[in-house]
Structure 1
Amino acid sequence: MIGKYFNVLDSTDSTNNYAMARLNEGPVAEGTAWFAMEQTAGKGQRGKAWHSPPGENILLSTALQPALPLTEQFMLSVAVALGACDFFAAYAGDETSIKWSNDIYWRDRKAAGILIENILRGSIWQYAIVGIGVNINAARFPEQLVNPVSLRQITGREWDAIELAKDLCQHLDRRYRQLVPGRFEELLEAYKSRLFRFNTPAFYRKDGELFQATIRDVLPDGKLQLEKESGDRMDAGFGEIEFVFAK
């Protein structure tokens, strides 16, 4: 279903914005995907920009209609992150992981980001616009990006970004079809099995405090549960904690 209707755009400000405009015009078939050769104002999480030279990378959005209550929206993020991780691991290998909540990492470097924006009609979750940016052929990145990596840098070869985007749609579709009541625990366990730094001591920052902790769990509502060196456990919601990387 995802990618059955696959549209290629020469240029747009953001594929998520483009998808949002099409949905505001009227109904769109679920799973319709929009791929952009160029974004002039790509969006990442928490208002960050997503940088990509024209034609080099996957810039993709798809419109989904999850048959879930809003209270379960983290499970959509889980399914999408697993699909993106499955896709990248198929080309880059088993060192691919999911950095909470839904970035895709290779070793300790960021390969892809996901941004999910919702359209609500009252309490009805009408659409979820899933935007995914994957570094495919980029050889250089802006200096302000801390730890990016591309598939080309990992494998030493160039790829057809459009064909890989269609393959990404297939991986997303497989995980999306698992998003049914009764399988949430299975999906969450699969997510934790691919989680970056899971059960590994590392450094984090919260409210200006630098501390060492170990990720012990991800709760059904999406909160990250960490264990500090003292043995105390703490929960962190989205945007509340920063992963610290060695320079």
Structure 2
Amino acid sequence: MSHSFAIKLPLTTLQEVDSTNNYAMARINEGSVTSGQAWLALYQTSGKGQRGKPWQSNPGENIMMSIALKPNGLLLADQFMLSSSVALGSYDFVKNYAGDATRIKWSNDIYINDKKAGGILIENLIRGNRWMYAVAGIGINLNQESFSPDVPNPVSLCQITGRKHDLLKMAEELYNCIMNRISLMHPKDYEQLLEEYNRRLYRRGEKQWFLSKRGKFEAMIKGVENDGKLVLENDGKLTSVSFGEVSFII
């Protein structure tokens, strides 16, 4: 069960919900949303991260938000363009407080140095070959200072800045950063967008240990291709890997 009240359209806050992505997708299926509408949860009982992992957060301390986006004029092949735009908007927001140590870790985590400050999960509504809607779920560690041992290398903006932040104001700022990037998104500018994404890429040009089904291996991160695949170099050979094929060892 969820309770909601309007803060300032198009952002609505939910006292408690299983997952803001689930809530947003349910509203889409009802036909009761407009593109750009967003929901902020004070508490999620079943928050979702990438690869089906739970997203853990103390009540009222972090930004847990989902935005409904109608990809007008975009094809299914353009999914990473939307994903990278949301990532860059989240990067812009965190960089305002954490500075140049902010990076985008492939594919959609926000890092400060070697610690995770946030993550993004995009889920799509597809009918046939038509991309009907996307739900961009964004979680940013804001005011939390103690984390479960199960959460790998977390950090919050409070820990970085040394002060607590107003949750609702910060959520609106994050929303505006993301929607600004969305407003600039156009297929003809995708190459420029991807270049910027790669400039902000965590450990680009550095060697990094990864884990795959075949075991551990070390490779240099070269960048990300326009289909969202990560390009790695190992012993002079370039390979492209899809999300889920490898994971970082940090």
Amino acid at match of 1:149: V
| Residue 43 (structure 1) aligns with | 48
Deviations 1:29-82 (A, max 9, x none): 110010011101100011000001110000100100112100110111110000
* Deviation at residue 27 of structure 1 after TM alignment: 3.8
Could you tell me which residue of structure 2 aligns to residue 201 of structure 1? Answer: 207
Structure 1 segments unaligned to the other structure (5+ residues):
none
Is the deviation greater in 99-108 or in 16-25? Answer: 16-25
- TM-score normalised per structure 2: 0.94
Partner in structure 2 of residue 114 of structure 1: 120
Give how far 1:217 is off: 2.3
C-alpha contact 2:201 2:223 (8 A) present in aligned 1: no
Secondary structure of the residue aligned to 2:150 is: coil
* Number of positions where the alignment pairs a residue of Structure 1 with one of Structure 2: 242
Inter-partner Cα distance in structure 1 for 2:31 and 2:183: 25
Asked if the contact 1:14–1:41 (Cα under 8 Å) also holds between the matched residues in 2, the reply is: yes
Match of 2:229 in 1: 223
- Report percent identity of matched pairs: 51
Is the contact made by 1:4 and 1:31 (CA closer than 8 Å) also made in structure 2? no
How does 1:24-39 map onto structure 2 within 5 Å?
24-39=29-44
**Are 2:132 and 1:161 aligned?**
no
- Choose the corresponding residue for 1:189, options 182, 187, 195: 195
Matches within 5 A, 1:1-247: 4-67=9-72, 68-228=74-234, 230-245=235-250
With the length of structure 1 as denominator, give the TM-score of the two structures.
0.95
Displacement of 1:208 in angstroms is: 3.7
> Where does structure 2 lack aligned partners over 5 or more consecutive residues?
1-7
Letter in structure 1 aligned against 2:236: G
State the shift of 1:201 in Å.
Answer: 1.3
Task: Give how far 1:173 is off.
Answer: 1.0
| Partner of residue 5, structure 2 | none
8 Å CA contact 1:178–1:187 kept in 2: the answer is no
Structure 1 letter corresponding to 2:213:
D
Letter in 1 for 2:60: G
Structure 2: how far apart are the matches of 1:180 and 1:148?
33
Question: How far off is 1:4 after superposition?
Answer: 4.3
Q: Distance in 2 between matches of 1:178 and 1:200?
A: 30
Partner of 2:176: helix, strand, or coil? Answer: helix
Amino acid aligned to 2:198: K
Task: Write out per-residue CA displacement over residues 66-111 of structure 1, whole angstroms, 9 at most, x where no aligned residue.
Answer: 1210011011111000000000000111100000001000001110
For the aligned residue pairs, the C-alpha RMSD in angstroms reads 1.1
| Deviation digits for residues 164-223 of structure 1 (CA, Å, limit 9, x no counterpart) | 010011110111112112100010000000000100112112224222211112111111
Instruction: Name the aligned partner's letter for residue 111 of structure 1.
Output: A
What secondary structure is seen at the aligned counterpart in 1 of 2:64? strand
SS of equivalent residue, structure 2 residue 60: coil
Q: Residues of 1 paired with 2:114 and 2:214: CA distance?
A: 22
